[in-house]
Amino acid sequence: MKHIKIENIAVIGAGLMGHGIAQEFASAGYPVQLHDITEEQLNSALIQIENNLQMLAENEIISNDNIPQTLDHIHTTTDLKSASENADFVIEAVSENLPLKQQIFEELDNICPQHTILASNTTALMPSQIGVNTNRKENILNTHYFNPPYLIPLVEIIRSSDTSDETVSTTFDLFTAIGKTPAIIEKEALGFVGPRLQAALIREAFSIVEQGIASAETVDLVVRNSFGRRLSVAGPFEVFELAGWDLVVAAFQELYKDLNSSSDINPLLQEMVSTGKLGVKSGEGFYEWTEEKQTTLRNRMSQALIKAMQSDGESE
């Protein structure tokens, strides 16, 4: 298969995801142009990248020498044209807003060389929707990371029916080369694989709390200490093949009828949003979020993800 040569990367949007995506490519030695609308956001992204790299070095995931080298590879700009005019591969990570993403893809289509691959990090939208106003539909796909991008190995690669095999295989090889675990999703669908499964889980979790079956704290306790542990080492099909599909039919036949299958947002979730109980960002959701509690949770998650990375490294 012919490949597009990828030398220069551009990342559009330097928020929670964009800064981590830029960091990964820079850490692997690629020159990266990082674009956002304000200098403040770009400066804050650089500070976050340096903090992330220091944390990775403290945990011996990268060497100390890698920190200045990585930072040297990242160039920031508030000008979309200078960010993307020499890019071979562009990842867009702006806010989850379809008209905004469509507009940025249209602008990128006008700015970038014809061979450039345009990828979106959207959580749920389809590449055919995002690239609708472009003249390079064969060079458009989604590359969906999970947060934090520098600690979670997987990237879902979602193609539309117009995406060429060359674009898919170039993207797959690029992510493999920088140490990610790419998964090709052959048929585009809203939410691909990861977000679809997570949406199903959180819909039922809300339904359990709304019906008074268990509190949010109990749901978290159950998941963390039971099937959540298994899922980090074996996928759902592997887990249930150990049990046998006949047992699955026997156990779930009646249960399925009782599960939530509503296509509406759960009223409890709607109420939480309308009363400003947004979670960490408003200081309250099901839990009260003091600064200390937020830090404790973030540290607990990153330490566990680092351990998983270290054990991946040992088993290679």
Ligand X SMILES: NC(=O)c1ccc[n+]([C@@H]2O[C@H](COP(=O)([O-])OP(=O)(O)OC[C@H]3O[C@@H](n4cnc5c(N)ncnc54)[C@H](O)[C@@H]3O)[C@@H](O)[C@H]2O)c1
Interface ranges with ligand X (CB under 6 A): 12-18, 35-37, 41, 93-96, 100, 121-123, 145-147
Nearer to ligand X, 94 or 174 (CB): 94
CA atoms within 13 A on the CB side of 241: 5
Distance in Å, CB of 39 to ligand X, minimum: 11
Nearer to ligand X, 201 or 247 (CB): 201
Rounded Cα distance between 32 and 24, Å, is 10
H or E element that contains 248: helix 245-258
Distance in Å, CB of 212 to ligand X, minimum: 30
Helices 194-210 + 216-225 axis angle, to 10:
130
Distance in Å, CB of 195 to ligand X, minimum: 8
Maximal CA-CA distance, the chain:
60
Nearer to ligand X, 95 or 114 (CB): 95
Rounded Cα distance between 122 and 185, Å, is 14
Nearer to ligand X, 6 or 125 (CB): 125
Rounded Cα distance between 156 and 136, Å, is 21
CA atoms within 13 A on the CB side of 170: 23
Contact in structure between 159 and 188 (CB atoms under 8 Å): yes
Q: Which residue is nearest to ligand X (CB)?
A: 15
Distance in Å, CB of 95 to ligand X, minimum: 5
Nearer to ligand X, 4 or 20 (CB): 20
Distance in Å, CB of 137 to ligand X, minimum: 20
